[in-house]
Structure 1
Amino acid sequence: MHLIEGLLILLQLPIGLTVRFDAKPKDVNGYEGKTAKINCFLGDFIKEKHIVSWWKYDLKLSQQNEVIVFDKRISVYLDDLPYAGAYSYVLLIHDLILEDEGDYHCQIDESPIVSSGIARLTILQIPSTKYPKCKKSANTYVVGSQVKLTCISELISPPVELNWNHEGASVLPISIKTEVSDDLVYKHYTFIAKKSNNDDSFMCQQRTEVVPGIHNCSIQNLNIQYRPEVKIQHTSALFAGSDAILFCQSFANPPVTEFKWMFTPVLNVNEYIADGQVLTLIKPSIARNGTRITCLAENNIGASTDTMTVHITKEGTLEKNIYGNNNDSKNVSKTKNTTNMTEDSKGVSLYVVIIVIVLVVIIVVVVVIIPVYYHCFCKTRTATDSSGREIYQPTVYYDSRNRTSNSGLYDCSLPHLPSTGLYGHWRHSFASQVPEDLNQQGYVYIDERNGQNTL
């Protein structure tokens, strides 16, 4: 009896050892919120005899087509493959969360246990569309103070890459500090405010291997405040007895709130007019030469000054500056006279040239153009016949005609006209023709109508 039971056990052992996993399940990357699928491939598997299950570490998740853990996001099924005894055992996890990441394997729940090997499920996180965020530590900064700009994003897997840019150029990492807190990552960019940073723009760029492309946030028009920069300007030299205008030029953020003019030694109130940035010196005297004028400009940050020394020039000095000493004046006068003579000579020469040109034109017209015109248009042309002999053509010829007319005066001594029975009007015509060489014809008619001449 015991021998028979032992034989049966030996017969069963080979059958249990034939089931196998044809391949190790592959590692899977799943996106947070999406679905992950892990496969085990079985060979010589008999559903009625063998039991297969999914495990995460030491936690059994399923058995055959049933899920044995309380998690509605998990489902399993056995799928037949196109050859006998081959199956795919599929594990589906929906709405992935970070806690789903880990090692998974299939197992044949028999003795001895057969394992498929481990498949690693990695959860990839996609940054929220509301990141990155850019913040600054203050709305305004004073020159010399510390500026702190912060770029914020999520602490996810794989981690995002954050980089600061200043006016299109990358910021050196030495100026950036990374901080992690409350599932958020912070990139702090700190620097000392300079006047040149006013109105600057900064950008934080976020990259991740999960999603292609770059997302960014920015800080525009950084407000750096500084006290005024002052410079006194005037357009020309200051002359005694002539009003002079001085201008206090300033650059400041915020704008200047007050301008103040000061004098050393002090000027009388009737010697100047101060109107904000503009100072008018009223007909300064030569005695005020060397006076020091100071402009003070002040805003909410502080005040700055600029000082200039007045150099007042006599009006006569202007001519001296222009012409030099007396000898120089004489030289200048001589130069001017020479220049005037040269200009007069140029003017006379121009008139002579014009007169010569007019005379030449007149001579050409009289000597050349008129004779040619006469020769071409006024000379009598010679006419020839078909044989080439010259035909005499008179310059003037006469032709007289006598005829009657049905209009005008009637002469009763003339016979009746055949057609009307009226008396006829006798008309005698005389014509003279000029030569045809003139390309025009002229006629002179003398009519005699019943003894009355008409021209």
Structure 2
Amino acid sequence: MMQFFLLLLFVTSIYQSNAFTGFHEEPQSDKQPEGGIVFFMCMVVGLSDVEYVSWNHNGKKISKDGQIIDKTVDERYMIDSNRLVGTFILHIWNIQRKDKGQFVCSVFNGENQMVAESQTANLTVLQIPQEHYPICSPIASSYVSGRNIDFMCRSEITDPPVQLKWKRNYVVVTSQAESNIGADYIVSYSIVASEIDKGSIFTCELTTSANSAIRRNCTVGPINILYAPHVRIEQTDVVVLGQEAIFICYSDSNPAEVTFEWVVDPPLDESMYILENERILRISNIQEFLNGSLIECKVTNSIGSRSQTLRINIFNSKTVKIQSKTEKVKSGNDDIETENDNSKSKYERLQTIAPGIKKNTGNDFSISLIVAIAVACIVVILGLALIPVGYMRYSRRQPSDTVSRGRPVSIPDVYFEPKDHVDPMLPQLGLSAPWMRTVGVQVPGECEYDVTYTQVSPQSRQAYYSQRMYTPASL
């Protein structure tokens, strides 16, 4: 019995020595993003009929030769095998995060005993945030100017980490704060609401090094900013003694629903002014006692009130230039710089009737004088331009008339002198003298005469004349 056992052991060792001898190629580690494709190569040498090759994922057998035995990955895993060559290639499609880990190519005998295994190949899955990221935090329907607005953008924590950036009107902003809360990566951005932020759009953009083609974003806005009215008073013209003065109150606010209130110090009698649409104040007849009076327009909406004050300066009919004076006027909760004498008006200043103001003795050019000078310049320029035109027109050679036989004859521009010559192409008709030809041309306006004749002896006064007339169009 002992001898039989030793013989069996010897035969087994010989049989195994003629079986699997090693790996010709082993799998290599790789990195791929989610949704990508990866394959691992395994090539063995000397595989016997009772041996087979299996792939192991994180210590779990997932295949046997060319068949996938793990049904959880059957749709995405495939083995490309050839026992004759000894190749067993593992393909993985649509890589998922659960595919990361260690892959080993192993050789087993018929009794499921491991004969050998390859080196370990590590698969690193580059994680990509799910499709619904990034997520922007909701905001209120409106914000009052001066309040804080906090914007938050979050994504899941991935390997490699994602990048989140806030943009204001598509321009990257600074002062962004990063934090991790649970499984979320958060980037926040804060501003103090201002009128200039009204209508602004804030965008959070997501990018990842796992796939440079991925660029997603979420948007917040446009932002609605509520603010108290900004007030401005304008005069339609300078205030002249005895004439009507019109003052218009302009406002900019959100919400736009406002109320207007006019205050004149000292107060005016109701018969002296008219209010139109609450924002236009018309003082029908400016009196001297109104010089230096203050007019205030106060505008109020649901957020607050602001006002502007204007001082009335009355002028008489004499034109003078008055230097502008700037003064600060209390307007609501702000100090607003205003030009209360409206010195920036496009109109000329009239002399004020207030005492102590020096009259301007200089005389300005009147508009009519400027217009007259401009017209004179235009006439001179046109005259200079017409001189060469007239010279060219009247310096032409004009046709002159002469008298021939008691009647005027027009002298043409061009003459062709008549010439006699012998035309050898004409038949001689048996005449002893040669044919002669004469041509006379007068241009323009006259016809061309072409005469052919022959000179004969006095004894035979027979001649042949041929005369043709050509109009200028037949030339």
TM-score, normalization by structure 2: 0.60
Aligned to 1:45: 47
Aligned to 1:247: 248
Percent of aligned pairs with the same residue?
Answer: 23
Aligned to 1:262: 263
Aligned to 2:236: 235
For residue 72 of structure 2, give the secondary structure of its aligned residue in structure 1.
Answer: coil
Aligned to 1:21: 23
Partner Cα separation in structure 2 for residue 193 and residue 327 of structure 1: 50
CA displacement at 1:291 relative to structure 2 = 1.2
Partner Cα separation in structure 2 for residue 218 and residue 320 of structure 1: 57
CA-to-aligned-CA distance 1:26-76 (integer Å, 9 cap, x gap)? 334556467654332211212x23243222233333444555555352766
Aligned to 2:58: 57
Aligned to 1:104: 103
Partner Cα separation in structure 2 for residue 377 and residue 119 of structure 1: 129
Counterpart amino acid of residue 244 in structure 2: D
Using the TM superposition, name which of 24-33 and 269-278 deviates more. Answer: 24-33
Aligned to 1:216: 217
Query: Does the CA-based 8 Å contact 2:136-2:151 persist in structure 1?
Result: yes
Distance 1:242 1:61, change over 3 A: same
Counterpart amino acid of residue 191 in structure 1: I
What is the aligned counterpart of 1:142 among 132, 144, 147? Answer: 144
For residue 11 of structure 1, give the secondary structure of its aligned residue in structure 2.
Answer: helix
Query: Does the CA-based 8 Å contact 2:315-2:350 persist in structure 1?
Result: no
CA-to-aligned-CA distance 1:250-291 (integer Å, 9 cap, x gap)? 222221511111122222222222331111112121012121
Distance 1:224 1:320, change over 3 A: closer
Using the TM superposition, name which of 213-222 and 286-295 deviates more. Answer: 213-222
Counterpart amino acid of residue 187 in structure 2: K
CA displacement at 1:193 relative to structure 2 = 1.7
Counterpart amino acid of residue 278 in structure 1: I
Pair 1:277-2:279 in alignment: yes
Partner Cα separation in structure 2 for residue 197 and residue 377 of structure 1: 102
Partner Cα separation in structure 1 for residue 193 and residue 358 of structure 2: 57
Partner Cα separation in structure 2 for residue 268 and residue 326 of structure 1: 32
For residue 270 of structure 1, give the secondary structure of its aligned residue in structure 2.
Answer: helix
Q: Which has the higher helix share?
A: 1
Partner Cα separation in structure 1 for residue 310 and residue 99 of structure 2: 78
Query: Does the CA-based 8 Å contact 2:259-2:301 persist in structure 1?
Result: yes
Counterpart amino acid of residue 104 in structure 2: H
Distance 1:380 1:185, change over 3 A: closer
Please provide the CA RMSD for this pair: 4.3
Pair 1:11-2:14 in alignment: yes
Query: Does the CA-based 8 Å contact 1:265-1:291 persist in structure 2?
Result: yes
Counterpart amino acid of residue 193 in structure 1: A
Query: Does the CA-based 8 Å contact 2:230-2:306 persist in structure 1?
Result: yes
CA displacement at 1:296 relative to structure 2 = 0.5
Partner Cα separation in structure 1 for residue 163 and residue 359 of structure 2: 82
What is the aligned counterpart of 1:307 among 306, 309, 328? Answer: 309
Counterpart amino acid of residue 106 in structure 1: C
Larger radius of gyration: 1
What is the aligned counterpart of 2:167 among 165, 168, 191? Answer: 165
For residue 275 of structure 2, give the secondary structure of its aligned residue in structure 1.
Answer: strand
Distance 1:221 1:72, change over 3 A: closer
For residue 71 of structure 1, give the secondary structure of its aligned residue in structure 2.
Answer: helix
Q: How does 1:43-442 map to 2 (within 5 A)?
A: 43-46=45-48, 48-65=49-66, 67=68, 69=70, 71=72, 73=74, 77=79, 79-80=81-82, 86-92=85-91, 96-109=95-108, 113-125=115-127, 127=129, 129-172=131-174, 174-181=175-182, 184-208=184-208, 209-210=210-211, 212=213, 214-275=215-276, 276-315=278-317, 321=351, 373=401
CA-to-aligned-CA distance 1:162-204 (integer Å, 9 cap, x gap)? 32222342222x224344555x544322222222222223333
Query: Does the CA-based 8 Å contact 2:80-2:90 persist in structure 1?
Result: no
For residue 49 of structure 1, give the secondary structure of its aligned residue in structure 2.
Answer: coil
Distance 1:320 1:113, change over 3 A: closer
Counterpart amino acid of residue 11 in structure 1: I
Distance 1:121 1:316, change over 3 A: closer
For residue 42 of structure 2, give the secondary structure of its aligned residue in structure 1.
Answer: strand
CA displacement at 1:139 relative to structure 2 = 2.1
Structure 2 spans left out of the alignment, 5+ residues: 321-348, 381-393, 410-417, 419-445, 447-475
Counterpart amino acid of residue 165 in structure 2: N
Query: Does the CA-based 8 Å contact 1:35-1:95 persist in structure 2?
Result: yes
Using the TM superposition, name which of 258-267 and 133-142 deviates more. Answer: 133-142
